């Protein structure tokens, strides 16, 4: 998307619609992506190791490798959303193809040391694919005028006017920079003709809507692209015959783009406002750091146990936003406020909660295995930073009250017939909200097959997860929601070369 950078101002404060609980949840969640073998077994690798994506669960897993190897994996992602709004349900289906995993491990063996093996590994994993889209259409009693009225009440009318000799786009940016997001939204609503002052005097602070309706028709689209990736540097070792220890440094990189479009009509025939179009664009990018520690112990020839600690991830993020609006009452030059006019925000930080994982696996020699992982992450400990920012402090209090512990259960199995491996997995992840009506529990299952050529291996996996999500169309002034049943389906092909 081409953007003009002539009119750029820096906001001095956070604002409700871009830096909030939704960002914390978005960047605290990691899907079960990775190698085809890892996905086919539901990601239950905490006590197994021997797979490059197992480093996401337990960094001791690289010491389980007997040979150096390289693995590359590509996935086809499919997201299907059934979105209910009012009495209408609309399905949206999108596909994307990504190279989601690349990594290698180097194994060094020793015959005259208690450390039998040392492993050095590197791995790139896409831990979250943000590509997603849904649309809804239906009647509601809450028009977009309520959004602007919510921000306008209490704002001085003189602040919402374009000053003599000032361009409308300059006024829009200046208000955002000096007075904040709320005043800027009130300015948009006023310039678009959706709201009017109760008195036409500069010190007026009360407003009413120009839109008259019993209910209105809304068509809403939300389209998201982006990713959260992790590059891991890992060191692990095998001590004696039965103990594996490891540590990883993780370097995160993310890009998130969200576009929303609202088309509203169906007002009363004598309503001054007859149509409204309102579009928003958010771009977020940044980087993060985390580390992990873990161990795996062989209790006997068949049973292994594992435990790991995943530190918080500390993200450094920047946002920029753009908007455009129109109506039949809008000022003639309203089109100069478009996606070429950017609001840039100061860098902010997010700390995601630490995670603990306990694992157990039963290995049946060369015939196969069963593995189980349990993960615990207290989402109420997530934070927007700096915590000294008043808006972040209040949002962190809201996060602490709304979110709670997330328990995750993963089960995987593998059955080998000569050179062929048959795999299956199951995952259950609790809602991060204390109130599960906002985001429901996630359930998923998976399966796959692999063929060992001796010096190399080819793996294929299929995974499917399902979750219900109650999404606000706008985060202020309107409580209209879309109830979404989201199904993610991944097909992954991986190739492993031993050397």
**DSSP symbols for 485-497:** EEEEEEEEEEEEE
- Three-state SS at 163: coil
Instruction: Please count the other Cβ atoms lying within 10 Å of the Cβ belonging to residue 200.
Output: 8
Q: For the whole model, what pTM was predicted?
A: 0.92
- In the structure, what pLDDT confidence band is assigned to residue 17 with cuts at 50, 70 and 90? very low
Across 199-205, average pLDDT? 95
Q: Label each residue of 261-293 as H, E or C.
A: EEEEECCCCCCCCCCEEEEEEEEEEEEEEEEEE
- C-alpha separations of 11 from 177, 320, 346, 388 in Å: 4, 10, 7, 17
Q: What pLDDT was estimated at residue 18?
A: 52
d(C-alpha 364, C-alpha 306), whole Å: 17
Whether residue 101 has pLDDT greater than 70: yes
Model pLDDT for residues 319-351, shown as the tens digit of each residue: 999 999 999 999 999 999 999 999 998 899 999
pLDDT digits (tens, 9 = 90+) for 429-455: 999 999 888 999 999 999 999 999 999
Determine how many CB atoms are found less than 10 A away from the CB of residue 108: 11
Q: What is residue 13's predicted lDDT score, i.e. its pLDDT?
A: 38
pLDDT the model gives residue 317: 96
Q: pLDDT by residue (tens digit) across 69-81?
A: 999 999 999 999 9
* Phi and psi torsions of 290, nearest 5°: -150, 170
């Amino acid at each position: 998307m081409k953007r003009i950078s002539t009119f750029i101002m820096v906001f001095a404060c956070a604002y409700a619609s871009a830096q909030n609980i939704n960002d914390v949840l978005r960047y605290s969640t990691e899907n079960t992506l990775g190698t085809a073998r890892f996905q086919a077994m539901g990601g239950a690798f905490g006590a197994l190791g021997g797979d490059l994506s197992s480093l996401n669960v337990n960094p001791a897993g690289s010491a389980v490798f007997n040979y150096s190897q390289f693995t590359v994996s590509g996935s086809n992602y499919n997201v299907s959303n059934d979105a209910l709004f009012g009495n209408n349900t609309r399905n949206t289906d999108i596909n994307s193809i990504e190279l989601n995993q690349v990594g290698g491990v180097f194994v060094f063996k020793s015959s005259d040391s208690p450390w039998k093996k040392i492993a050095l590994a590197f791995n790139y994993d896409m831990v979250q694919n943000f590509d997603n889209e849904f649309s809804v259409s239906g009647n509601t009693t809450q028009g977009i005028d309520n959004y602007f009225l919510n921000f306008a009440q209490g704002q001085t009318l003189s602040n919402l006017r374009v000053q003599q000799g000032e361009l409308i786009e300059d006024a829009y940016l200046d208000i955002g920079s000096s007075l904040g997001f709320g005043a800027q939204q009130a300015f948009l609503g006023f310039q678009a003709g959706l709201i009017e002052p109760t008195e036409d005097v500069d010190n007026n602070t009360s407003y009413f809507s120009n839109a008259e309706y019993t209910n209105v028709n809304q068509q809403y689209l939300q389209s998201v692209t982006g990713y959260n990736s992790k590059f891991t540097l890992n060191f692990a070792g095998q001590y004696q015959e039965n103990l594996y220890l490891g540590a990883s440094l993780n370097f995160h990189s993310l890009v998130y783009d969200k576009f929303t479009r609202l088309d509203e009509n169906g007002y009363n025939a004598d309503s001054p406002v007859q149509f409204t179009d309102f579009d928003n664009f958010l771009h977020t990018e940044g980087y993060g750091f985390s580390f992990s520690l873990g161990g795996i112990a062989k209790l006997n020839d068949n049973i292994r146990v594992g435990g790991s600690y995943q530190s918080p991830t500390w993200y450094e993020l920047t946002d920029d936003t753009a908007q455009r609006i129109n109506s039949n009452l809008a000022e003639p030059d309203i089109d100069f406020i478009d996606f070429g006019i950017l609001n840039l925000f100061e860098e902010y930080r997010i700390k995601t909660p630490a995670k603990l994982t306990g694992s157990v696996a039963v290995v049946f020699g060369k015939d196969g295995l069963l593995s189980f992982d349990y993960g615990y992450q207290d989402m109420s400990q997530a934070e927007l930073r700096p915590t000294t920012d008043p808006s972040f402090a209040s949002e962190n209090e809201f996060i602490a009250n709304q979110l709670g512990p997330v328990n995750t259960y993963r089960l995987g199995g593998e059955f080998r017939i000569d050179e062929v491996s048959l795999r299956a997995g199951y995952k259950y992840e609790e809602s991060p909200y204390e109130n599960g009506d906002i985001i429901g529990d996630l359930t998923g299952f998976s399966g796959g097959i692999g063929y060992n050529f001796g010096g190399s291996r080819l793996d294929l996996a299929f995974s499917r997860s399902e979750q219900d999500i109650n999404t606000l169309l706008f985060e202020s002034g309107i409580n209209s929601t879309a109830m979404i049943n989201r199904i993610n389906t991944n097909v992954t092909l991986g190739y492993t070369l031993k050397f």
